[in-house]
Amino acid sequence: MFSLDNKIAVITGGGSGIGKAIAILLAKQGAIVHILELNIDSANEVVAEIKGTGGNAFAHACNVGDQKNVLEIFKNIGALNILVNNAGIAHVGKADTTDEKDFDRLVQVNVKGVYNCIYAAMPLLKNAGGGSIINMASVAAHVGIPDRFAYSTTKGAVMAMTLSIAKDYLAENIRCNSISPARVHTPFVDGFIKNNYPGKEDEMFEKLSKTQPIGRMGKPEEVAALALYLCSDEAAFITGCDYLVDGGFVKLNN
């Protein structure tokens, strides 16, 4: 089950965190993985790790918000079966404390970046006779989270885009689903805590972990396992769905 032999997969933001875990797992299951990453050094490190265990992977320096850059890379890749839109950035602020430049930056990466990759991938997926697209949304698209105005806005857009893509490409055998994680323990989370709560790292890590009813943050590998299922043939009957990977955050926080 869950074999991806000879499948070609593109993963944006695959140089760290959730994207890295997805890249490693898909390669382990036989996929040829292309990592699109702003930080090419981190992408190369993941590629080396994958190749070191017998997998097949390539790194591409990419700004997903730049359509010309994205189109060039997809053209060079040439064929595609799986697209994982994982690249994204966060922001802390309310509507009246979010600068226009910060709002535009989040839209450029989190919304336009997803659009750019889907736009570039669609001809390749059609040529392959179909495929799977996974978009990374968030629990912030489901519930109100304090001080996450711009981030929540973009992730709500990602969920709506997922439904639109799933509906529009049924006839082309292209499935599109989204994943909505709660807090997942990644280097980004560690950096966020260090920068915003110096001297209180352990205390804040514990506090943020407890916001999930299950009592801890998720692991990147747990999100990757769901991504593997959704892009495999075992999920051929699933499209237009969003999956919470949140330790009960949305449904059990009463």
In a domain, 213, yes or no: no
Q: What is the DSSP-derived secondary structure letter of residue 56? A: E
List per-residue pLDDT tens for the chain, 254 residues long. Answer: 999 999 999 999 999 999 999 999 999 999 999 999 999 999 999 999 999 999 999 999 999 999 999 999 999 999 999 999 999 999 999 999 999 999 999 999 999 999 999 999 999 999 999 999 999 999 999 999 999 999 999 999 999 999 999 999 999 999 999 999 999 999 889 988 998 899 999 999 999 999 999 999 999 999 999 999 999 999 999 999 999 999 999 999 86
What's the number of domains the chain is made of? 1
In angstroms, rounded to a whole number, what is the distance separating the alpha carbons of residues 29 and 230?
13
The confidence score (pLDDT) of residue 196 equals 82
Quickly list DSSP for 93-114.
B-GGG--HHHHHHHIIIIIHHH
In angstroms, rounded to a whole number, what is the distance separating the alpha carbons of residues 220 and 145?
21
Dihedral sign, Cα of residue 195, residue 200, residue 206, residue 211: negative
- Active site residue ranges: 151
In a domain, 82, yes or no: yes
- pTM summary value: 0.96
Q: Which two three-digit tokens encode residue 181?
A: 């994680």
In a domain, 123, yes or no: yes
What range defines the domain where residue 245 resides? Answer: 8-183+220-252
In angstroms, rounded to a whole number, what is the distance separating the alpha carbons of residues 103 and 92?
11
In a domain, 163, yes or no: yes
In a domain, 157, yes or no: yes
- Residue 14 CB: number of other CB atoms within 10 A? 32
> Are the beta carbons of 38 and 62 closer than 8 angstroms?
yes
CATH number for position 147 = 3.40.50.720
210 φ/ψ angles, rounded to the nearest 5 degrees? -75, -10
In a domain, 28, yes or no: yes
In angstroms, rounded to a whole number, what is the distance separating the alpha carbons of residues 38 and 97?
27
The confidence score (pLDDT) of residue 188 equals 85
In a domain, 209, yes or no: no
In a domain, 211, yes or no: no
